[in-house]
Every structure is written in structure tokens, then in C-alpha cells.
Amino acid sequence: MRKSKRERQRLLQETIRENPFVTDEELAEKFSVSVQTIRLDRLELSIPELRERIKHVARQSFADKVRALPLEEVIGDIIDIEPDASAISIFDVKEEHVFRRTRIARGHHLFAQANSLAVAVIHDELALTAKATIRFVRQVKEGERVVAKAKVTGKTESGRTVVDVNSYVGQELVFSGTFEMYRSNMEKKDGDSNEHRD
């Protein structure tokens, strides 16, 4: 069944978005029109040719891949840090951080930002989270910018460092956590660790 021009072009866009690897010839067959018509359609819709589309996808993923691992080290951008005292990081909630249906940020990303910051604020070769009590105060939505503020508040008798992290969207508290951090360079007193070397 041949569709109207409008309808065909709408479906064309959708088809290519879903599968950028489709050729004009395949599209022509799919819509029962000539290849030339498909090309006219692409021209009108400013859809580039197959090879350009593929190149674009490849370029993007290539750039992403390079960025992926090193960036993972710290979740959020640290914008201020005073070692063993305090630190601040910002984290922009994007599409990939939210539940698809509700657009609400998944808890572990807020945790990751806070945990990451707690690790970073510890001025030591090795810092690990031993224990944490956290509270998700209010939901964070896609597009919001979360500012996490970490403050070193003290030490436990077992020598762990306690870090409080509060995260805000604007003036509003959205997340709050207390982290007990294990660190390697405690004067002495080695509890239960094995080795840690580079």
C-alpha cells in the first residue's frame, strides 16, 4: 500500500532513526517507491546518506569510548577541595541517570557522587568506604544540577574518618549521607587489611 508523501516521510525519519544502517534501496522497497523518491525525501528532510550516518555514529561512540574510563574515576566534577577537610562537586543529571518512565534520578548515582567525593576528600593513597548511612531527601529529576558538599567531621575510635556529605539542587537538600572511611595511612593500628600497593 502506497502512503501519502507526508506519511512516508514521517515513517522514513522514524525508520532511519531506529536503524541508521538502512540503504536507500532497502527503503525504496519498504515503501514501494523508487530509489529516487527516497533520495528526494532524504533531501527534503536533510537526512544524510548512509555512509555519513554511519560515520557519525562511529565518531560519536569513538569519542565516548575514549572519555568513558578515565572519567569514571570520579563521579561528578570536583570544583573545590581542601584535603582532609571539605570538598564540593557538581553532577548534572542526564538521560542516562534516570528511570526512563519517571525521569527521576536513580539513587545510586547520587550515592556515587557523594561516595566519590568522600573518597576524594580523604588525603591518602587509599580510601575506601567502610560504612554509610544515607538518606534520599527528595527526588532529583533529569536536567537538575546536584551540588555535593563533603565535610570531614571526625574519627571513630577504630581510626576511621567520618565524612558527612550533603547534596543540593539549588538551595534544596536532596541527599544526605554519613560515610565512615577506611584509610591506609593511619599512623599504625592495622585492623583487617591485607596489602595495598601499586
Partner DNA sequence: TTACTTTTAGTACCTAGTCATAAATCCGGG
Partner DNA sequence: CCCGGATTTATGACTAGGTACTAAAAGTAA
- Give the footprint of a copy of itself on residues 95-154 (CB under 8 A): 95-96, 99-102, 104, 106-108, 111-112, 115-116, 119, 125-126, 128-136, 138-139
DSSP letter (8 states) at residue 87: E
- Give the footprint of a copy of itself on residues 63-92 (CB under 8 A): 64-65, 68-69, 72-73, 75
- Which of a copy of itself, DNA, none does residue 25 bind to, with CB < 5 to 8 Å depending on kind? DNA
Measured from the CB of residue 66, what is the shortest distance to DNA in angstroms? 22
- Binding stretches for DNA (CB under 7 A): 4-5, 8, 23-25, 33-34, 36-37, 39-40, 42-43, 48-51
Distance CA 150, CA 147 (A): 10
Output 43 or 69, the one with its CB closest to a copy of itself.
69
Distance CA 173, CA 193 (A): 35
DSSP string, 91-149: EE--GGGB-TTT-BBPHHHHHHHHHHHHHHHS-SS-EEEEEEEEEE-S--BTT-EEEEE
**Cell (9 digits) for 149:** 558538599
Measured from the CB of residue 31, what is the shortest distance to DNA in angstroms? 8
Distance CA 180, CA 133 (A): 9
Distance CA 78, CA 52 (A): 37
- Which of DNA, a copy of itself, none does residue 101 bind to, with CB < 5 to 8 Å depending on kind? a copy of itself
How many Å is the maximal CA-CA distance in the chain? 80
Output 83 or 191, the one with its CB closest to a copy of itself.
191
CB neighbour list of residue 11: distance below 8 Å, 6 or more residues apart: 3, 31
User: According to the binding rule CB under 8 A, does residue 167 interact with a copy of itself?
Assistant: no
Distance CA 34, CA 171 (A): 59
Measured from the CB of residue 147, what is the shortest distance to a copy of itself in angstroms? 18
What are the residues binding a copy of itself (CB under 8 A)? 20-21, 51, 54-55, 57-62, 64-65, 68-69, 72-73, 75, 95-96, 99-102, 104, 106-108, 111-112, 115-116, 119, 125-126, 128-136, 138-139, 192-193, 196-198
